[in-house]
Amino acid sequence: MAPLWERFFEGHRGLYSVYVHTDPAFNASAAAPDIGSAFHRRHIPSKISTISLIPRTPPLCHITCTTSLDRFVGRPRLSPSQQQQHPKALSQLAHAAASRHSRGPDFVAINLSDNPTVAQTESLGRTDILTNLFRLEVKWGHISMVEAERRLLAHALLDHSNSRFILLSESHVPLFDFPTVYSYLTNSTKVYMESYDEPGGTGRGRYKRGMAPTITPWQWRKGSQWFEMDRALAIDIVADNVYFPVFKKFCKRNCYTDEHYIPTFLHIRHPEVAARRTVTWVDWSHGGPHPSRFTRMEVTVDFLRWLRGGTTCEYNGRTTTVCFLFARKFLPNSLTRFLRFAPKVMGFG
């Protein structure tokens, strides 16, 4: 879907930055995009440490996009001293990227910024230094997925101009143009993550008794891994040395850490900032462990228009039909349809 995302970003350079966390099998040199591409030289190393960061997926896995905005709405912007409230943890995370290893899905981090010069320069410099490091595997549903997410967040946090972060995959598509997405996130008073209590084996049944008393059954939450968060929450997650170690020790086998760690952390630490919904549309109507996948013939103008406004939700205290900014899972063969419909339906390209 890279050509679609290139059109999405076109004309807005300086308002975002991109971080790509690749699978070890990915040949960055062979697949290097043009120098003018939004993805040019945006790779970070897929490394793991005792405090870890974020991954990205190869063609059959998934990608991560982290969008960071250089202002807070509804919450005061952090001062430089506040941004450094966890200097030791952030330093360890940065060191981790240059010292230990991880492998797994490829992720992309996109950071929106009001200070483009700093954002672009600092990120590229860090990428140049860390591109040739060895990597270990990141597995779906495993703690390594969360380690990878924290890794990508940590890299994005090193740039102080980044303040909103979005996790996406390579099968994601944007539903609106860049200005709409940018305005929606920069003006939001909430963060967009699911965090809900689900009875039964796929919810409460995944809780491990060894997690108590740090995490109780009544605090256990579930949600989609595709998050959108502000800088304050991202810092708290990266610096977490209370709940993450508990997940790492006890959330194994059929626990699926990536569906529970951040939703549970959000419920315990920052319930007041959660919109408790995601800005990524996914179809789970067919049941099973994976959402529906959509091919070229299923991408129609009517379908896209429904995705853009076929439901209602709350945004900053008001009811709106703009609930989803992105959608997945779309197969590569659907790209031609998106490129054709984007100017007419999504407003870009």
Higher pLDDT, 39 or 218: 218
Sign of CA dihedral 153, 155, 158, 163: negative
| Cα–Cα dist 148/130, whole Å | 15
DSSP 345: I
| Cα–Cα dist 78/80, whole Å | 7
| Average of per-residue pLDDT across 162-181 | 91
Q: What is the pLDDT of residues 179-232, one digit of tens each?
A: 999 999 989 999 999 999 999 999 999 999 999 999 999 999 999 999 999 999
CB 165 within 8 A of CB 111: yes
Q: What is the pLDDT of residues 287-299, one digit of tens each?
A: 777 889 999 999 9
pTM for this model (two decimals) = 0.76
pLDDT bin (cut points 50, 70, 90) of residue 348 is very high
User: What element of type H or E holds 107?
Assistant: strand 107-112
Q: What is the pLDDT of residues 225-274, one digit of tens each?
A: 999 999 999 999 999 999 999 999 999 988 999 999 999 999 999 999 99
- What number of other Cβ atoms are within 10 A of residue 132's Cβ? 8
Torsion, Cα of 131, 133, 136, 140 (10° steps): -20
| Cα–Cα dist 244/218, whole Å | 17
3-state secondary structure of 20: strand
Residue 56 has pLDDT above 60, yes or no: no
Could you tell me the two tokens for 81?
């001293």
pLDDT at 285: 87
pLDDT at 32: 55
| Cα–Cα dist 236/309, whole Å | 33
